[in-house]
Structure formats: C-alpha cells, structure tokens
Structure 1
Amino acid sequence: MKNKIFLYLFIFASLIGLYLFISSDKIVTAHIEKIKRLELETVALKDSVQELNIKVMDVQHFSLENNDYALENYEHLNLENPERYIADKLLETNESPGNNPLIPYEGMEGDFKINKINVLNHKWILAEFTDGKHWGEMIIEYRLKDDLGADFTLTDHLLYTSTF
C-alpha cells in the first residue's frame, strides 16, 4: 500500500512538473514575442520622433531665435530674449479698450485681440487675432528702437470667412 501511495505521488508530481514545463515554455514564448513587438514599436516611435524633430527644425527656420543675422541687429540692446521682448511689446497693444488698434476689423462677437505671435526676423511678425469666434492673420512690420520702444505697422491682413 505504501508503494502505491509513493507511485501515485510520483505520477502526480511528474504531471505537475510536466504542466509547469509546458506552461513556462508558452509563457517564455509569449514574452519573447511581446519583447519583439515592443522593440519594433520602439523603432517606429524613434523614427516618428526623428521626423517630428526635422519638421520642428524646418518650422523654426523662420524665427528670430534661430536667425543669427537678424539677432545681430539687437546685440547692442543687451536683451536676453529679443523675440519674447518684441512679442510682449506687441501684446501690450491688446491692453487698450476695444479692438486692438493694429487690427483693421471690428469684432463681431467681442473685441479683436492678438493671441498668437511668431517673430520671423528683425523686421516682420506673423500674428493671429480673434474675437473668440472669428479668426484672422496679419503680417506686421516692426522696428525696435534703441530706447527699447517699438513701432508696429500693419503690412497685410486677412479675416477667415468661415467659423468652426
């Protein structure tokens, strides 16, 4: 009787060992497949990041920050960030009551104010304006004076006719 109990225990332990061996093999295979899939996904994401970096560099090409020739015009002013300073000066024109004086349109849903600014170089600014529902863009010519004052002149503008 004792032999039969040991035999059954041995068979039971063998079956458990066989089950653990087979299931661990499947688990290892599943983990290997998951690792390969994640490696491929990582490669694809790295490629996407590289493409986005190239696009960002292309977009930043037309900015005062990356234009050494234009920045030379402001070296004598000792500004830490000329682009930010000019954008702040332009945003100060929003502080007047009513529409921004540079925007040649009357606001339909409120007052037109400048909300986005891209300083292209030492001469031009691309700006977006809105009244909350209607949108437009304009090109502004500017001149930064030695006393750190700024003169802005509207060069061209457009107002989008459709609203979203």
Structure 2
Amino acid sequence: MKTKIFLYLFIFTALISLYLFVSSGKMAAAKDDKIIALQDEVAVLKDSVQKSQLSVLDMQYFSLQNNDDALAYYDHLAIEDPTRYISDKLLETNEKSGDNPLIPYEGMESDFKINRIKLLNHKWIIADFSDGKYWGELLIKYELKDDLGVDFTMMDHLLYTRSQ
C-alpha cells in the first residue's frame, strides 16, 4: 500500500512538474513576444520624438532667443531678457483705448489688438492681431534705444478675409 501511495504521489508530482514546465515555456514565449512588441513600439516613439525635436528646432530657427548674433546686439544694455522686454513694450501699445496704433485697420467687431508676438531677430517682429472675429498679421520693425525706449514701425500688414 505504501508503494502505491508513493507511486501515485510520484505520478502526481511528475504531472505537476510537466504542467509547470509546459506553462512556463509558453509564458516565456509570450513574454518574449511582448518584449519584442514593446521594443518596436519604443523604436517608433523614438522616431516620433526625434521628428518632434527637429520640428521644434525648425520653428525656433527664426527666433531672437536662439540667435546669438542678434542677442549680442543687446549686450551693452542691462536687460536680462530682451525678448520679454520688447514683447512687453509692444503689448503696452494695446493699452491705449481704441484700435492699436500699429494696426492700420479699424476693428469691425471691437478694437483690433495685438495677440501673439514673435521676435525674429534684433530688428523685426511678426505679430498677430484680432478683434475677436477678424484677424491679421503685422511685420514690425523695431529699434531698442540705449535709454531702453523702443520705437516700433509697421512695415507690412495683412487682414485675412473671412470666406463664407
């Protein structure tokens, strides 16, 4: 009787061992497949990040912040962030009542005001303006003086027409 119990115990243990061996092999294969799929996904994401970084670098090409030659133009002035300073000075022109004096159009829905500003270099700005319904863009020439005053001159402009 003892031998039969040991025989059944041995067979039962062998079956459990066989089951564990087969299932662990399948689990390892499944994990390997998952690892390969994740590696492929990581490669795709790396490519996507690289494309995004190149796109950002392209967008930053015409920017005062990334133009060392243009920033050197302001070295003699005590301005920590010339981009911020000039943008603030341009936005101050919005504070006057009525349309912004740099915008050559009269607002149709309300007053035209400058919304977004991009300093291209130490001489030019491109700006977006809107009255809430109609919008356009300005090319502005500016000069930062030694007394930290800023003169703005509108060089060109456009107003987008609304297609209906």
| TM-score bracket relative to the smaller structure | 0.7 to 0.9
Which amino acid is 2:60 matched to?
Answer: Q
Aligned pairs (5 A) from 1:85-164: 85-162=85-162
Say which is worse superposed, 88-97 or 53-62, in terms of deviation.
53-62
Q: Tell me, which stretches of 5 or more residues in structure 1 are unaligned?
A: none
Cα distance change on mapping 1:16 and 1:90 into 2, 3 Å: same
- Describe the superposition over 1:101-128 as per-residue Cα deviations: whole angstroms up to 9, x where unpaired: 2122233333322121110111110111
Aligned to 1:46: 46
For 1:77, what is the secondary structure of its paired residue?
Answer: coil
Identity of aligned residues (%): 65
Cα distance change on mapping 1:15 and 1:107 into 2, 3 Å: farther
Aligned pairs (5 A) from 1:41-80: 41-80=41-80
Aligned residue pairs: how many?
Answer: 164
Which amino acid is 1:101 matched to?
Answer: P
* Root mean square deviation, CA, Å: 2.2
For 1:129 and 1:158, locate their aligned partners in 2 and report how far apart those are by CA, in whole Å: 10
For 2:72 and 2:29, locate their aligned partners in 1 and report how far apart those are by CA, in whole Å: 61
Which amino acid is 1:59 matched to?
Answer: M
- Describe the superposition over 1:44-79 as per-residue Cα deviations: whole angstroms up to 9, x where unpaired: 222222222222222222111222222232111121
Is 1:16 aligned to residue 16 of structure 2?
yes
Aligned to 1:29: 29
For 1:158, what is the secondary structure of its paired residue?
Answer: strand
Q: TM-score, normalised by structure 1?
A: 0.86
**TM-superposed deviation, 1:33:** 1.4
**TM-superposed deviation, 1:3:** 4.1
Q: TM-score, normalised by structure 2?
A: 0.86
For 2:81 and 2:158, locate their aligned partners in 1 and report how far apart those are by CA, in whole Å: 29
- Describe the superposition over 1:11-42 as per-residue Cα deviations: whole angstroms up to 9, x where unpaired: 33332222222222111111111111212222
For 1:146 and 1:39, locate their aligned partners in 2 and report how far apart those are by CA, in whole Å: 57
For 2:7 and 2:27, locate their aligned partners in 1 and report how far apart those are by CA, in whole Å: 30
Say which is worse superposed, 131-140 or 8-17, in terms of deviation.
8-17
